[in-house]
Structure 1
């Protein structure tokens, strides 16, 4: 595939979306907004596809202007992005099984995966071993910067752009994913983008954590879960209206999926081992905690410290490194744009 990238020519950097050079711009770094080409072997109309990469500053400004009109702006601050990168975990075993067993049966190809609302890239990295090329996008340049700076394979890259205006060619994406982010999108506009960018045999995967969260440790499950739920209740006044889509198990989003072949799974439960310190870090990544922190910083910090103390007391432990299990029910929407044989196309 022939590539051309005006911005990437500076300093001898390679082209953006193939190798991720947009993570460090020659003109001073920052997130690039890129126009991605159709992967090799799927070019339409003969001739090589072209990749165009705008300057980092131009891309970030455009992403900000577009996103202000479309998606709900969350997770924007650099401090929040750092917390998100450090404490958000990769989709776990049960969710992975649901997603990949579906893709192995339904996806027509495993060339390009586009992970929208990627945050700091936890879900994006999960796709790297399955696809020739994976691109994570997020409306927040701060989140994209965190993703770019974290270790990632050569076939993974990140860029800043709104979910509703994806800079990829029509019909170029084999699988479009969004892990715990779709409820922040302008759903009608995002679904139109999904129709535009997905290949004829492409698949759509939308997942979310729910608010059904429980803590498990020996015989202390009920007390620990009660403590956690009381803390979460403190955050309820700061919950965005967009989270109602999560409370509704993504039913409204499911109904908006424009493809007739679709299913929604609402009973996926993953059990995530973590320390108490990691649990406390995880809750600080919540959008509603960040809103609480912005509104009443001293009270927010006091409450999160109190959560740690109460959890440790209930466990009978002294160290924040004490381990427990975090159980979370998840919802997964799986859809296929067109009929394909129920087999693994790679076999």
Structure 2
């Protein structure tokens, strides 16, 4: 079990899209202080490392030790922790980021923990990206997402695809100017990314292999040349008063 979870973390590190530097620059500008940032639900640390240039210390926290083991060496410090029970002092954080993970949390309990651990002027940011589009193959990935994989998505998936529209905090909201994640990928890159989707993890555990049926169709349509892939990047953010 441990080996398979570590391999999953390695796949996340290899195939999940990285966030643009402009996102972290914007987050730093919103925060009153720059001493300590926490990336919560950090997985293998993609967002954690993006915060390093902007904060004196960055912590990455996740419930999965195996995911953390897959994080490459960096200046970040990682810890295993529940989102609603952080081993951190009151008013110790300048920023909390949650990238693609908020839908897994006990959200009311986490919001109380954010209230406790953020300093006045500190920022909470929920980061998400929706279903990607591939140049020249528009709709193909979404059709797979919404079709063969539909029975395997957890109910919480709808929150992250929509950008957490129902999330709220009793603090002033910070409007994000908007951005996209853009990468040039091969069909192999895309298939590696799709294999990290939680729906495919669940289907595989049940003995189903939807990606095996989809892969030849995708490879044929994709061709040998790289294609441009876009994800809409969304941020819900608030500054604690």
TM-score between both structures, scaled by the size of structure 2: 0.90
Answer yes or no: is the 8 Å Cα contact 1:266–1:331 preserved in 2: no
Q: 2:69 corresponds to which residue?
A: 145
Give the counterpart of 1:225 among 134, 138, 154.
138
Displacement of 1:137 in angstroms is 0.1
Aligned residues: 238
- What aligned pairs does 1:282-321 form with structure 2 within 5 A after superposition? 282-296=193-207, 299-300=208-209, 303-317=210-224
Give the counterpart of 1:170 among 90, 100, 104.
90
Bigger Rg, which one: 1
Answer yes or no: is the 8 Å Cα contact 1:110–1:132 preserved in 2: yes
Give the counterpart of 2:154 among 240, 253, 262.
240
Give the counterpart of 1:160 among 57, 63, 80.
80
Answer yes or no: is the 8 Å Cα contact 1:272–1:325 preserved in 2: yes
Q: 1:204 corresponds to which residue?
A: 124
Answer yes or no: is the 8 Å Cα contact 1:134–1:157 preserved in 2: yes
Could you say if the C-alpha distance between residues 304 and 268 of structure 1 is closer, same or farther in structure 2, counting changes exceeding 3 Å?
same
Q: 2:54 corresponds to which residue?
A: 130
Give the counterpart of 1:272 among 183, 200, 208.
183
Displacement of 1:97 in angstroms is 2.4
RMSD of the TM alignment (CA)?
A: 2.1
Displacement of 1:179 in angstroms is 1.0
Secondary structure of the equivalent of 1:234?
A: coil
Deviation by residue 1:170-199 (Cα, 9 ceiling, x = unmatched): 000011111111111111111101000001
2:11 counterpart of 1:83: yes
CA distance in structure 1 between the partners assigned to 2:65 and 2:179 by the alignment? 31
Q: 1:116 corresponds to which residue?
A: 40
Unaligned runs of 5+ in 1: 1-29, 31-75, 339-347
Q: 2:22 corresponds to which residue?
A: 97
By relative contact order (CA 8 Å, sep 6+), the higher-ranking structure is 2
CA distance in structure 2 between the partners assigned to 1:266 and 1:332 by the alignment? 9
Unaligned runs of 5+ in 2: none
